[in-house]
Amino acid sequence: MKIKIISGITAMFLLASVDAAAQGTLAEATKGNFLFGVAVNMPQVNGVNPSESELIAKEFSTIVAENCMKPQPVHPQENTYNWEDADKFVAFGEKNKQVVTGHCLIWHSQVGRWMFVDENGKDVSPEVLKERMRQHIYTVVGRYKGRVKGWDVVNEAFEDNGTYRKSKFYQILGKDFIKYAFQFAHEADPNVELYYNDYNVETASKCDAIVQLVKELKAAGCRIDAVGSQSHMHLTRPTLKATETSLKKLKAAGVHILITEWDISVLPSPYHGANVSTSFTYSKEMDPYREGVPASVQQKWNKRVLDVFELFLKYDDVVDRVTVWGLNDAGTWLNGFPIRGRKDYPVLFDRKNERKAVVNDMIKMANKYNSKK
């Protein structure tokens, strides 16, 4: 009897794993819809935990560097470039036969201060900044020419209310810094795709500003292939309606759409943006799930993932890529942002690198959607 029960359980377990194996990966299930990707950190590129590197290779069709291609790491001083990590990252993607995205060329964060000042610490002239941008973009884009499918050329140039962020680039060059960046990137590699990337693209005023930017860039003869919507989400914000409206508006603007940094935080948040310099003090109330996520909250998160994913599928004629910002809950940047030292659960693999149950439901959803096409 005992043996029978055990073998029954074993049989169920086997069936379940056969079911999961038969379903394959999300990247396979969404092959006809969009690329499915993940942001990768250096320990993963270096194989510090080989199972993570293997999962990245197996489960995703495209990768982006979480940090190593940003301006500061690559170009910390005017005449110093650090290629070691970015080179390894690109080679890692090639080894795995994955599409590689470059992130990012011009951004107000994670950029060396040297870019904006002269030897006396005073702001440089517009001509000097423009030339430094040109040098940076030509050198970085030129180095990976033919190996990177597209670049986030400018990241986060707008405030949520649709005004230009008063970054150093904007203060010194005005809004034309964006146009220059796109021109330089295109000159450096005429075949590479060029993207504008931002967070809270679902916010109407910001979305409208981005649409206007797309029009202006096109009118100026610049190449712009897609707008990246970072999609750092919470359990209830942005609403599905706002998300869909933003997809519609971008589609109407004649650009493709990339979901570039998708995650859905389960934690309470004092802030619904992704400006990396924002921070709040830690409190236990803001870190409620140290021992795990209660079933009711997990259900809400699962439903939220599926609702949003369904929208991405619905707009698959214009959504070219969906990238999750990080492989697992242990490594997510949201454990440190906007409050340090919390425990969040926003991505598709858990702290033991197990694929979360919702992934199978996403695969089923994609299969069903594609069978009706």
| Binding interface with ligand XIL (CB under 6 A) | 66-67, 155, 230, 261, 274, 276, 333
Contacts of 28 (CB under 8 A, 6+ apart): none
* Catalytic, out of 52, 59, 66, 156: 156
Min dist CB 31 to ligand XIL, Å, is 26
DSSP string, 251-288: HHTT-EEEEEEEEE--S--S--S--TT--B---GGG-T
Task: Give the closest residue to 58 by CA, choosing from 88, 19, 15, 20.
Answer: 20
Min dist CB 66 to ligand XIL, Å, is 5
Output 345 or 369, the one with its CB closest to ligand XIL: 345
Active site (annotated) includes residue 78: no
Task: Give the closest residue to 132 by CA, choosing from 84, 175, 79.
Answer: 79
Secondary element (H or E) of residue 65: strand 62-65
Output 195 or 369, the one with its CB closest to ligand XIL: 195
Active site (annotated) includes residue 261: yes
Return d(Cα 128, Cα 118) in angstroms, integer.
Answer: 9
Directed axis angle between helix 295-314 and helix 357-371, to 10°?
Answer: 30
For 334, the token pair is 């949201």
Output 72 or 171, the one with its CB closest to ligand XIL: 72
* Catalytic, out of 59, 193, 202, 261: 261
Min dist CB 128 to ligand XIL, Å, is 26
Min dist CB 333 to ligand XIL, Å, is 3
Q: Report which residue's Cβ sits closest to ligand XIL.
A: 333
Cβ–Cβ < 8 Å for 322, 263: no
Output 23 or 155, the one with its CB closest to ligand XIL: 155
Could you give the residue numbers annotated as active site? 156, 261
